[in-house]
Amino acid sequence: MASPIIVDFPLKGEWITPNTPGTKVPSHGTDMLGQRYAYDFVGLEPGSQNTRFYRHTTLRYLLLGVCLKDCYGWGRPVYAASEGTVIRATDGWPERNPVHLVRDLFNMLKNSFTINVNQEADLRILTGNHIITENSDGYTLYAHLQQGSICVSAGDKIIPGQRLASVGHSGNSTAPHLHFQMMDNLDPWKAKGLPCCFREFDIQDDGVWHTVQNSMPRATDRIQRL
């Protein structure tokens, strides 16, 4: 792996990263669409030790699903990880409510097949509402954003820590989360993923938070940024 690009952590609060290059590469099992070093951040209940992304029981989630408003990550602000220019800010793609594992998995498989056989299809089938920024090191994609939450437009200059949108459940998403990746080309079909790590965040170890710098979270880490 090349030396990772250092960027700011794009979220606040407590999170887990089930798909991360800190655990495996390619992190999403494929190099397609520049995803080789991509992260998925799923929100957790602050101050709790459970790793559920929702407020209800697991049985309720599996049988009936859970409303978006009952998911800890949904609606949390997404912040710019680095300085740059907004190249694409695409909104208007609907979210599925409630979140239901079987339906969302079926939707993900159907959408993946649709994109693979028709590369002219609307990329929001996969990314949902999304933002792409151009930075000095390449391009950054923020995907699966909440419908109607994007607060920047193409051509806007952005600075680290600036609010861009909110975490959503649009596109190929099985839980409200932020998909974050860096890539070397604006065209996802031509893009190669670029490794990146985060300037500073906290990891919980036996109930105690420790600050780490210039690191990649692992899939088992409970992480936060205040």
Task: Supply the CATH number for residue 100's domain.
Answer: 2.70.70.10
The pLDDT value given to residue 120: 62
- Residue 157, strand partner residues: 85
Q: What distance in Å separates the CA atoms of residue 46 and residue 14, rounded to the nearest whole number?
A: 6
What one-character DSSP code corresponds to residue 184? S
CB 85 within 8 A of CB 156: yes
Q: What is the pLDDT of residues 141-171, one digit of tens each?
A: 999 999 999 999 999 999 999 999 999 999 9
Q: What distance in Å separates the CA atoms of residue 81 and residue 84, rounded to the nearest whole number?
A: 9
Residue among 140, 129, 53, 44 at smallest CA distance from 94: 129
Tokens standing for 181?
């990746």
Between the two ends of the chain, the Cα-to-Cα distance in Å is: 29
Helix (H, G, I), strand (E, B) or coil at 196: strand
Residue 41 φ/ψ, nearest 5 degrees: -115, 120
Tokens standing for 47?
């101050």
The pLDDT value given to residue 118: 56
On average, the pLDDT of the chain sits at 94
The amino acid that residue 213 corresponds to is Q
Tally of domains in the chain: 1
CB 140 within 8 A of CB 82: yes
- Residue 159, strand partner residues: none
The pLDDT value given to residue 168: 98
**pLDDT of 117 higher than 70:** no
Q: What distance in Å separates the CA atoms of residue 51 and residue 196, rounded to the nearest whole number?
A: 25
Beta strands in 10-159 (DSSP E): 13-19, 39-43, 77-79, 84-90, 129-135, 138-145, 157-158
Query: What domain range is 162 assigned to?
Result: 5-225
The pLDDT value given to residue 207: 87
C-alpha 221, offset from chain centre: 16
User: The pTM is what?
Assistant: 0.95
